[in-house]
Amino acid sequence: MNSIALQVGFKDAVTDAQQVFRSLLKVMSEPGVIEQLDQTDTLETLCPAAFSTCLALLDSTTRIWLAESFDNDSVSKNLSFHTGCRLTRDVSEADFVLCRADQLPALSQLKLGSAEYPDRGCTLLVQVAQLSDIALPGATQLTLQGPGIPGQRSISVDSLPAELTRYLTERPDPFPLGLDIVLLGGDAVIAIPRTTVVEVN
Amino acid sequence: MNPQTIREGYNFAYLDEQTKRMIRRALLKAVAIPGYQVPFGGREMPMPYGWGTGGMQVTAAVIGQTDCLKVIDQGADDTTNAVSIRAFFRDLTGVKTTERTEEATLIQTRHRIPEKPLQAGQVLVYQVPIPEPLRFIEPSEVETRKMHALEDYGVMHIKLYEDIAQFGHIATAYAYPVLVNGRYVMDPSPIPKFDNPKMDNSPALQLFGAGREKRIYAIPPYTDVKSLDFEDHPFEVQKWEQCCAICGSAESFLDEVIMDDQGTHEFICSDTDYCRERMENLEVTV
Amino acid sequence: MYVAVKGGEKAISAAHELLAKVRRGDTREAELSVKQVEQQLPLAVARVMTEGAVYDPELAALAIKQSAGDLVEAIFLLRAYKTTLNRFGICEPINTEAMQIERRISATYKDLPGGQVLGPTFDYTHRLLDFSLMAEGEFSDPSDEAENLTAVPESVSKVLEILEREKLMASEMDHQHQPTDITRDPITYPADRSARLQSLVQGDEGFLLALGYSTQRGYGRNHPFAGEIRIGEVEVSIVPEELGFEIEIGAVQVTECEMVNGFTRHRDGEVKFTRGYGVGFGQCERKAMAMALVDRSLQAADYDEEVVSPAQQEEFVLSHCDNVEAAGFVSHLKLPHYVDFQSELELLRRIRAAEQSDSAKETN
C-alpha cells in the first residue's frame, strides 16, 4: 500500500475552527470583504485558505466533489482523515464542490435545493490565483451590490473563469435559488452569495 | 461545581465540534438567504426550550476566546435569565463579559435591541420562540413553507387589515413582521415594534436562533428591513408621554413599574446599560 | 425617585440552595440512594429512559433523585446529558422475536405457541392500598410455582407473523433505507415512518395516551386489538467496520406492542388487517400501547383514510408530543415579558383613548 503523507491540519482544532468560521461568516455576510485564513499550511495543490475552509466546514454528514487537480490521494486522504467527509463522484449530489478556477464543473449540474428549501443548495469553493480589494493587473474587476454591502464594493480576482463571471452577472437561477460561491486564493477568502448583484468593470 | 471543573468536563461553549459545524453551515446558508428560515438539527441544551436554547446554540457556535459577551433579557443585563445565560457562557468558555453595549463583540438578546446604535463588527444573536411569522395565521409548516416559496403573503396583509378594521390600528405591538431584502417576510422575534427600525441597514450582523422549532435565520449587515404596513396606515413606533423616572430619557423604550396598591405607575428605561450611562454623564455634568 | 432592584445572581443561587433542601426533605430520615431508586422504582426508571432516549438505569435513577421525583424534569436531565455524548456507532436492529420473555400476552387468541405469560403486571391487582407496605417488612421471594408459570421457551414466534403468513395482515417491509435520525436532523413534513416512530418513542406518555384514547372514542377510529404485548430482554449488537461481523455488546429490556387494526383494501388490491407498532425501554406497557394506536392513526394517508382527527394529523402529533419541548415552552411564560406586555398596554390604551374621543365627538 502506498503510504500517503498525512499533514497537520489545525494546530488547535477548537480555536482554529472557530476563527475560520468567524471569517467565513464575515465574508459571507459582507460580500467582497477579504479575510485571511492562514490557520493551516498548503496541502499539496490546495491553498491554505481552501484547506482551512474544508477543515472548518466538512464532516461525515457532508458530501464533497473534488475537481481533477484535487482528486488525488494526497488531498482526498487528508481531507477524509481530518474531517471524515464523504467524497462523491456525482457533482449533482455534492453539498460542497471544490475546484480550481480552470476546472469548473458544469454549473447547471450543481445542487440547488428547492423553492421550499433553498438552503439545500451547493456551496461552490473555487481556488483562484489571487484575490484583492485593489485592482490587480490583468485580473477581473468586479463591482458588488446587495445585502451586506453599503453602497458598493469592488474586488479583483486573478484567473476568474469566464463561465463563473457569466453565472454571476446573469444569475440564471432566480432567487431564493442560487449558488453561494467562496473564492479562495492563497491565504485570502471572499464570498459572493446568491444575493449579490455583480457587474464586470 | 466551579468554572474550572465545568470547563474541564465539557466542550468549549458546551456543544461538541460536530454540532457546532452543523450550526455553522446553517448560519452560512442563513446569511446567504436573508430572512429565510434554515432548519437545523437543534440539540437539547441544559436549559429548558423556550428559555433561549436557540440563541444559546447560535452563540455557542459563534463565540471564540477573544469575544466579549453581553447578554440581555427585556433590555436589561440583570434580569434572572440574562444573568443565568451569561454565567453559563462565562463558565463554559471563560470569555470576557460586559454590560456595556459598545464593548461587546457578541450580544445575545431576548426581546430587545440595545438603544445605543450597534457598530460594524458586532454580532447580535436573538432568542426566538416562534420563528414563523405566518404561524398564527396558518398552523401547518407544510403550508407556510409553500407560502414563503411562492412569495404568497396575502394572508399576512389580510390579517393586518382586519386589525385596522376592528381596532383602527394594526393590533401587533411586538414581533411585528418585517420584509427582508424585499423578499422574505420574517418574524423579528418578540421585540417591541419600537425596535424594528433599528434592524434596517444595521452595520451589525443579526442572527436568530429558535431551539425548540429548530430554525436559524439571519440578516446580514446593511440589508433592507421594512416593517409591513399600508399606505393609509403607515408603520409607526410606540411613544410615551412620560420620561424615564431615573435618567429622564424621552427617547428610549420604557417599562412601566407599579409604585403602590392604587396602581400609581412610573416609567423607566428597559435598556439598563443605556440608562446607567446617561446617569453617569448627568453626574459628570453636575 | 425610583431605584431599580438588582441582585439576580445571588437570588438564583439562593433558589438552588432552597431546592436542594426540598429535595432532601426531613434529614432525620435516611437519604434515598440512587441504587434504591433504580431497584425499587423500575417503572419510573423505564419511563425516564424511554422518553429521555438513553438506556442507562443508573443515570435515569440519578435523574429521578435529582429531580425530586418530577419525571418530566428527569427526562430533560437525561436528554441534556445525552447531547454531550460521542457517538461510536449504530447498532443492528434488535430482534424481539429472540426476546428472553418475561411477559407475553395476546388478546386475539385464547392460546398460542409460547402461551399467555402474565409475568409481573398490575393488570389483575385490586387497586386497594396495601397497608402492609407502610411497614418495612420482610420480603419473600416468589414461590416456585409462580416462577414456573413464567418459564417460557427461548424463542416465541410473533402473533402478527402468524397472520402475515396467512396473508391476512399487512407486511412490515424493511426497505433497506438508512433510518432518519431525529436527534441529528430536524423532522420535516411529511415525515417518513422511521422519523415518526422515533418521535413517538420519545413522546410524552400522557399525550400519546390521550391521543390513543381519542381514537377509541371515534376521533380517527381504527378498530384495535392488542395482537401481542411482550416484555423482556433483547441482545444489542454492532458490526464494527474493521471487523465486518456482528458482536454482542449487551442487552436491554424492552416492551413491545403490536396492535392488530381494522382491515381495509390495500394498494395491492388485497383486503388485509392493518397494524400499529409501539416500543419502549423497560416495562412501559401503557406507553407502548398508546404509541401503537397513534402509529396506526398516522398511517391514514397510506390507506386513503380521511384525515379529520387530531391523532391522524402527523404535524400536529409529532410537533407537540415531546414533553421536553412542551414543558420548556409552557414554562417560559414565567420569564419576564415586561417589554411585550408594555407594548400591548400602550396599544390598548391608545385604541381606547381613540374610541373614547370618537364617542365623545358623537355625543356632542
pLDDT tens track for A83-129: 999 999 999 999 999 999 999 999 999 999 999 999 999 999 999 99
Cα distance from C344 to chain B (closest Cα, Å)?
A: 6
Is residue B3 pLDDT above 70, yes or no?
no
pLDDT band for A1, please (50, 70, 90 cuts): very low
- Structural contact between residues B270 and B253, judged by C-beta atoms closer than 8 angstroms: yes
Residue of C54, C67, C339 to mutate, testing the B interface (most B Cβ within 10 Å of its Cβ): C339
Residues of chain B positioned with their CB less than 8 A from the CB of C63: none
ipTM of the predicted assembly exceeds 0.85: yes
Question: Chain C: nearest CA to B155, how far in angstroms?
Answer: 21
Which residues in chain B are contacts of A24 at CB distance < 8 A?
24, 28
> Which residues on B lie below 8 Å from A19 (Cβ)?
64
Contact C329 B79 (CB under 8 A): no
Query: Which domains, ranges and CATH numbers included, belong to chain A?
Result: 3-200 (3.40.50.11310)
Residue A150: closest CA among chain B residues belongs to which residue? B222
CA distance C165 to A114: 43
User: What percentage of residues in chain B have a pLDDT greater than 70?
Assistant: 97
- Rounded CA-CA distance C70/C128 in Å is 25
Contacts of B49 in chain C (CB under 8 A): 324-325, 327-329, 332
The proportion of chain A whose per-residue pLDDT surpasses 90, expressed as a percent, equals 92
Q: What value does the mean pLDDT of chain C take?
A: 91
pLDDT at B282: 86
* Residue B100 DSSP label: -
Instruction: Judge: C190–B41 Cβ closer than 8 Å, yes or no.
Output: no
The model's confidence at residue C11, banded by pLDDT at 50, 70 and 90, is confident
Residues in chain B closer than 8 A to A26 (CB atoms): 205
Q: Which residues of B touch A125 (CB under 8 A)?
A: none
Point out which residues pair with A125 in neighbouring strands: A98, A182
- Residue C174 — pLDDT band, cuts 50, 70, 90? confident
Q: Tens digit of pLDDT for each residue in A161-178?
A: 999 999 999 999 999 999
Quote the CA–CA distance of C94 and C234 in Å, as a whole number.
7
pLDDT of C4 > 70? The answer is: no
Please enumerate residues of A whose Cβ is less than 8 A from a Cβ of B: 13-15, 17-19, 21-22, 24-26, 28-30, 56-62, 114-119, 123, 146-150, 175-176, 180, 193-195
| CB within 8 Å: C186 and B40 | yes
Q: State residue C113's pLDDT score.
A: 86
> According to the model, what pLDDT value does residue A95 have?
97
The lowest-confidence range among A5-14, A24-33, C60-69 is: A5-14
pLDDT top residue among A44 and C297: C297
Q: What is the mean pLDDT of residues B202-207?
A: 98
Confidence of residue C2 (pLDDT cuts 50, 70, 90): low
Q: In the structure, what pLDDT confidence band is assigned to residue C161 with cuts at 50, 70 and 90? A: very high
Q: Partners for B (CB, 8 Å, 3+ pairs)? A: A, C
User: What is the overall mean pLDDT for chain B?
Assistant: 93
pLDDT of residue A191: 98
**How would you class C356 by CB atoms within 10 Å of its CB: exposed for 0-12, middle for 13-18, buried for 19 or more?**
exposed
Q: Nearest CA to CA, how far is B205 from chain C (Å)?
A: 23
pLDDT band at C362 (very low <50, low <70, confident <90, very high): confident
Q: Is the pLDDT of residue C117 over 70?
A: yes
- In the annotation, is B68 catalytic? no
Query: Is there a catalytic annotation at residue B35?
Result: yes
Nearest alpha-carbon partner for B52 in B209, B191, B217:
B209
More confident residue, B282 or C195: C195
Nearest neighbour of C335 by CB, restricted to B11, B81, B253: B81
Segment (H or E) for B198: helix B196-199
Cite the DSSP H helix spans in chain A. 13-29, 48-57, 73-83, 162-170
Q: Given an 8 Å threshold on Cβ–Cβ distance, is B50 in contact with C328?
A: yes
pLDDT tens digits for B16-38? Answer: 999 999 999 999 999 999 999 99
List Cβ neighbours of A139 (8 Å cut-off, separation of 6 or more): A130, A132, A156, A157, A158, A159, A160
Q: Is-catalytic flag, B244?
A: yes
Q: What is the pLDDT of residues B113-129, one digit of tens each?
A: 999 999 999 999 999 99
Q: Provide the pLDDT for residue A48.
A: 97
Instruction: Tell which wins on pLDDT, B55 or C134.
Output: B55
Closest chain B residue to the Cα of C313, Cα to Cα:
B140
Nearest to B111 by CA among A11, C336, A74, A98: C336
Strands B106-110 and B123-127: parallel
Interface touch A18/B63, C-beta < 8 Å: yes
Contact A139, A183 (CB under 8 A): no
User: Minimal Cα–Cα distance from B29 to chain A, Å?
Assistant: 6
Q: Which of B25, B37, B215 to mutate to test the interface with A (most CBs of A within 10 A)?
A: B25
User: Which residue from B minimizes the CA distance to C15?
Assistant: B80
Averaged pLDDT, B37-61: 94
Say which of A28, A61, A180 has its CB closest to residue B22. A61
**pLDDT given at position C267:** 85
Tell whether the model's pLDDT for residue C29 goes beyond 60: yes
Predicted pLDDT at A46: 94
> Of the segments B2-11, C66-75, C125-134, C169-178, which one has the largest average pLDDT value?
C66-75
Give the tens place of pLDDT for each residue, C178-230.
888 898 888 989 999 999 999 999 999 999 999 999 999 999 989 999 999 99
Residue of A39, A62, A119, A177 for testing the chain B interface, max B β-carbons within 10 Å: A119
Condensed to tens digits (0 to 9), the pLDDT of residues C227-286 reads 999 999 999 999 987 888 999 999 999 999 999 999 998 888 899 999 999 999 999 999
Cβ contact A194–B33 (<8 Å):
yes
Q: Name the burial class of residue A11, with classes exposed (0-12), middle (13-18) and buried (19+) by CB atoms within 10 angstroms of its CB.
A: exposed
Q: How confident is the model at residue C85 (pLDDT cuts 50, 70, 90)?
A: confident
Among A18, A125, A195, most B C-beta atoms within 10 A, so best to mutate, is A18
Residue B154 annotated in active site? no
pLDDT over 50 (residue B150): yes
Classify the C-alpha dihedral B240-B246-B252-B257 as positive or negative.
negative
How many whole angstroms separate alpha carbon A159 and alpha carbon B177? 43
Alpha-carbon distance of A161 to A163, in angstroms, equals 5
The pLDDT score that the predictor gives to residue B170 is 87
- Whole-angstrom distance, CA of residue B243 vs CA of residue B232: 30
CB contact under 8 A, A15 and B33: no
Give residue C151's pLDDT: 65
Question: Per-residue pLDDT for B156 more than 50?
Answer: yes
Q: Which of B9, B35, B55, B68 is catalytic?
A: B35
pLDDT > 70 in chain A, percent: 99
Residue B234 has pLDDT above 80, yes or no: yes
The H-assigned helical ranges of C84-233 are 144-149, 159-165, 193-202, 205-216
What is the chain A residue with the closest CA to B180?
A147
The chains in contact with chain A, meaning 3 or more Cβ pairs closer than 8 Å, are B
Indicate the residue of B31, B146, B222 with minimum beta-carbon distance to A149. Answer: B222
